[in-house]
Amino acid sequence: MQIGPYQLKNQLIVAPMAGVTDQAFRNLCLRYGAALAVSEMLSSNPEVWDTEKSRQRMTHSGEEGIRSVQIAGADPDLMANAAQFNVEQGAHIIDINMGCPAKKVNKKFAGSALMQDPALVKDILQAVVAAVDVPVTLKIRTGWDPEHKNGVQIAQIAQDCGIASLAVHGRTRQCMYKGFAEYDTIKAIKQNISIPVVANGDIDSPEKARFVLDYTGVDALMIGRGAQGRPWIFKEIQHYLETGKKLAPIEIHEQRLVMLEHLTKLYELYGEYKGVRFARKHTGWYLNQEEQRQFRADFNRLESADQQYSLVECYFDELVKN
C-alpha cells in the first residue's frame, strides 16, 4: 500500500489509541512487523501543546519507521496550524481523527461527531491538505448512528479533498465499541473510491485478518485492541497471510523479554510515578487470563518500578520451573 511517497512493507497498521500507542508501544509493534504505527491523537488547540501529556505524545526521537501523527479538532484553521506544527516536529504523515467516539472529544464536536456535518468535514480536510506538503490521511467510523451511516459520503468527500488514504472503523459512533464490527459499509466505501482504504475493528486473529481483507477488498488492515498485550500479533498475521499457516504461540522466554522491555520503556518515557500506573494497564493486557488474576491484583498494588519489574521476573521464573 502506498501513502503519498511512502510504500508500506505490508498491509498491517497500528491503530492510534489514546493512552496506549505511545512511543514504547509503537516501537514494539513495528519490530513485530507492523508497517506503520499511528501516534496517539493530539489536540489542535495550541494552548495544550506545552502540557506534559502533549509533549510526551509529540516525542519521536529515536522512533523507528514512518512517523504518522494524528490530530483532532473541529476548527479548520486550528487543524491546519496543528498539522503544520507537527510536520515541523518531524511528522511524515498527518492523520485526522474523525473516528473517536469518546464523549469528551465529541462534546467539542471533534472526533466522530464531525460525521454529522459533511460541510465542516470538507472545510477541515481542505484546510489541512492545503497547509502541509506531506500526505494527509483520515480515520472515520461508518456513521454517527446505525440509522445514519454516511461513511460512503464522507469517503467521497475525503477523496475529493486530496486525502491520501482512509481508515474506517466498522462501527458507528453510537455503537462505541459494543457489539461486533460490520464490514459491509467498509466494503461499500472501498467500491466507491479509488484511494487506499484501511479496515479497522475486531481484527484480533490471523484468520479474522484474512477474512476482512477478502470480504472488503481493502488495501490494508488497522489493528488496535487486538494488539494490546500482544504486539506480536502483527508477525502472526503477516505469516498467516503469506503462508496460510499459523505460527506457533510465542514462547515464554520471548514474552518475558517483551514485557520487561515494555516496562522499562514506560518508566523511561513517563517517569516512575506515571510509568508504574501505565505499566498496570499494559501488564493486565499481557496477562489477562483468569488464572493470572491474583498476579494482576498483586502487581497493581505495587508503587515502585523496581517492585513491578521484580514481580514480573519472578512470575516468569515460576512459569519456567513449572
Residues 172 and 305 reside in one and the same domain: no
Residues 18 and 148 reside in one and the same domain: yes
Retrieve residue 29's grid coordinates.
509493534
Compare 218 and 61 and report the one with higher pLDDT: 218
Amino acid at 164: A
The span from the CA of 288 to the CA of 228, in Å, is 10
pLDDT of residue 51: 63
Asked if pLDDT for residue 54 goes beyond 90, the answer is: no
The residue among 226, 243, 260 that closes a domain is: 243
Residues 217 and 261 reside in one and the same domain: no
Asked if pLDDT for residue 259 goes beyond 70, the answer is: yes
Compare 226 and 62 and report the one with higher pLDDT: 226
Q: How many folded domains does the chain comprise?
A: 2
Residues 159 and 284 reside in one and the same domain: no
Give residue 143's region: left, alpha or beta (phi > 0; psi -120 to 50): left
Q: How many residues does the structure list for the chain?
A: 322
The pLDDT confidence band at residue 108, using thresholds 50, 70 and 90, is confident
Asked if pLDDT for residue 106 goes beyond 90, the answer is: no
The residue among 243, 273, 290 that closes a domain is: 243
Retrieve residue 292's grid coordinates.
493470572
The pLDDT tens digits of the residues spanning 192-217 come to 999 999 999 999 999 999 999 999 99
Is-contact 242 14, C-beta < 8 A?
Answer: no
Is-contact 158 195, C-beta < 8 A?
Answer: yes
* Helix, strand, coil tally for the chain in percent (to 5): 50, 15, 35
Residues 266 and 137 reside in one and the same domain: no
Active-site residue, selected from the candidate residues 100, 161, 175, 314: 100
Cell numbers 479533498: residue: 161
Least confident residue range of 59-68, 108-117, 233-242: 59-68
Annotated binding-site members for FMN: 16-18, 70, 139, 169, 200-202, 224-225
Residues 22 and 90 reside in one and the same domain: yes
Annotated binding-site members: 16-18, 70, 139, 169, 200-202, 224-225
Would you call 175 a catalytic residue per the annotation?
no
The span from the CA of 41 to the CA of 53, in Å, is 11
Query: Could you tell me the pTM of the whole model?
Result: 0.93
CA-angle at 229, arms to 221 and 201, nearest 5° = 30
DSSP letter (8 states) at residue 132: -
pLDDT of residue 46: 75
Residues 176 and 316 reside in one and the same domain: no
Asked if pLDDT for residue 52 goes beyond 70, the answer is: no
Q: CATH number of the domain at 8, please.
A: 3.20.20.70
CA-CA distances (angstroms) from residue 320 to 149, 248, 253, 283, 314? Answer: 51, 18, 8, 19, 10
Residues 46 and 96 reside in one and the same domain: yes
Residue 34 three-state SS: coil
The residue among 243, 272, 292 that closes a domain is: 243
The β-bridge partners of 3 are: 6
Is-contact 91 80, C-beta < 8 A?
Answer: no
Residues 58 and 192 reside in one and the same domain: yes
Residues 23 and 94 reside in one and the same domain: yes
**Dihedrals phi, psi of 159, to nearest 5 degrees:** -60, -45
Residues 32 and 88 reside in one and the same domain: yes
The pLDDT tens digits of the residues spanning 264-311 come to 999 999 999 999 999 999 999 999 999 999 999 999 999 999 999 999
pLDDT of residue 112: 86
Residues 269 and 218 reside in one and the same domain: no
User: What is the residue range of 70's domain?
Assistant: 2-243
